[in-house]
Amino acid sequence: MKTYRIAAIPGDGIGTEVVSAGVEVLEALAARDGGFAMAFDHFDWGGEYYKKHGRMMPEDGREQIRRHDAILFGSAGHPDIPDHITLWGLRLAICQPFDQYANVRPTRILPGITSPLRHVTGPELDWVIVRENSEGEYAGVGGRVHQGLPIEAATDVSMMTRAGVTRIMRFAFRLAQSRPRKLLTVVTKSNAQRYAMVMWDEIAVEVAKEFPDVTWDKAIVDAMTMRMTLKPESIDTVVATNLHADILSDLAAALAGSLGIAPTANLNPEREFPSMFEPIHGSAFDIMGKGIANPIGTFWSSAMMLDHLGAFGAAARLMRAIERVTADASLHTPDLGGQATTRKVTDAVIAAIRADNE
Ligand code: NAD
Ligand code: K
Ligand code: MN
């Protein structure tokens, strides 16, 4: 029997609440399936670890998780520590060296959930956003001089490479090609940003030639927010830079009902390093410790993890269980307008997994 070795890194805030729920659900799936086992190693890295050790993860942290089949991540972000330290010390310290350059964020309206867009009932909104996850605005290039003085200057340089843009563009065209509509929107801002974004557009034209069966268009990022809200049916697969896609995918999650539902896969498509799966949300300081975090984003991310591992039957079973639960409004957490707790939703998903006979 195949055993999948998973590194669980809950991080902080509601990250800890949703990852422990995710682990329970994955164990229930393995028990129901019988064809595979899940072995979890838990890592207590994050803000509390930082308070004790002065860093978010041990120096050899990446070495400790290098050989796992996948990583299940919660959130980096602690109320007592500046966000750039928690983010760069943990999430980006794993994503970037492990070359998880393709960040994949599916969005659709699950059964029982109401979009804030009045006329959208479901089928019109079914997107996958591909986020460049290794460079661009989050390349970490920049600096500050004369800190605190009136003459202080600071830069965050968006650095894009031909190799980096080409590989994410190919990934997005290939993904679009695998979906029924074969439709890709390349998001850009090359009207105002006239170097890297112009290269981005040129590479899109070049890569498109390799995929003659994919229909594609370009959208300026600001206009894209309007199109997402007013013409959701005109969109299928989207590719955007690290920052642009970060913003567009929170909008996408909100349009599909809640940030708490939305999943992410941070993929190293060449499988040289483990890939990492996490909900798109953060530590949610306003609700942490209350037991009301929506765990669906983590469950959906876990389904993406199972797909990545090749456990397709278990992934499909998990998605069926999620949809059975979202269809029942008495199982909605407060972010969806309900009163259910994380515990109640988790128990319901586990019950749905056990009852699933397909
Ligand atoms: P957030 O995603 O933590 O929360 C935004 C809002 O959405 C909050 O009102 C929160 O209550 C709600 N929300 C988020 N997830 C929810 C869930 N599962 N169930 C119910 N409601 C949910 O974003 P923020 O408040 O901007 O950031 C808080 C911290 O998280 C910061 O430290 C930030 O840097 C960090 N963060 C980390 C990641 C990551 O690790 N990938 C992503 C985003 C933010
Ligand atoms: K997260
Ligand atoms: Mn984000």
Known catalytic residue: 138? Answer: yes
**266 CA to middle of ligand 2, Å?**
11
Atom of ligand 1 nearest to the CA of 79: 32
Q: Is 286 considered catalytic here? A: no
How much is the pLDDT for 358? 87
Token pair for 43: 């890592």
Phi and psi at residue 254, to the nearest 5°: -65, -40
For a substitution probing ligand 1, which of 81, 87, 259, 326 has the most ligand atoms within 8 Å of its CB?
A: 259
106 strand-pairing partners? 128
Q: Write the CB contacts of 344 (distance below 8 Å, at least 6 apart in sequence).
A: 331
Q: Describe the chain by its helix, strand, coil percentages, rounded to 5.
A: 45, 20, 35
Pairwise CA distance, residues 9 & 266, whole Å: 14
Residue 225 and residue 84 in contact, taking contact as beta carbons nearer than 8 Å? no
Contact in structure between 124 and 230 (CB atoms under 8 Å): no
What is the pLDDT at residue 121? 87
Instruction: Report which of 273, 286, 271 is spatially closest to residue 335, judged by C-alpha positions.
Output: 286
Ligand 1, closest atom to CA 293?
Answer: 19
* 181 shares its domain with 250: yes
Residues in the chain predicted with pLDDT less than 70, given as ranges, are none
Q: What is the DSSP string of 304-350?
A: HHHHHHT-HHHHHHHHHHHHHHHT-GGG--GGGT----HHHHHHHHH
pLDDT at 337: 96
Same domain, 275 and 309: yes
Give yes or no: residues 75 and 149 share one domain. no
Q: Which of 230, 256, 282 is the last residue of a domain?
A: 256
Containing structural domain, residue 345: 1-102+265-357
Please name the residue whose Cα sits nearest to atom 8 of ligand 1. 284
Are 236 and 279 part of one and the same domain?
A: no
Q: Whose CA is nearest to atom 4 of ligand 1?
A: 284
pLDDT tens, 342-358? 999 999 999 999 999 88
Among this protein's residues, is 2 annotated catalytic?
A: no
In this structure, the answer to whether residues 242 and 143 fall within a common structural domain is: yes
Q: How far is the CA of 281 from the centre of ligand 3 (A)?
A: 7
Residue 135, domain CATH? 3.40.718.10
Ligand approaching nearest to the C-alpha of 259: 1
**271 shares a domain with 240:** no
Q: What is the pLDDT of residues 248-291, one digit of tens each?
A: 999 999 999 999 999 999 999 999 999 999 999 999 999 999 99
Domain boundary among 256, 277, 304: 256
Ligand 1: centre distance to CA 87 (Å): 12
What pLDDT score does 46 carry?
A: 97
Interface ipTM > 0.95: yes
- Active site annotation includes 189: yes
Question: Ligand 3 centroid to 237 CA: how many Å?
Answer: 18
Answer whether residue 109 is part of any domain.
no
pTM, rounded to two decimals: 0.97
Same domain for 82 and 40: yes
pLDDT digits (tens, 9 = 90+) for 187-200: 999 999 999 999 99
Q: Total structural domains in the chain?
A: 2
Residue 332 in contact with ligand 1 by CB distance below 6 A: no
Which residues keep their CB under 5 angstroms from ion ligand 3? 246
218 is catalytic: no
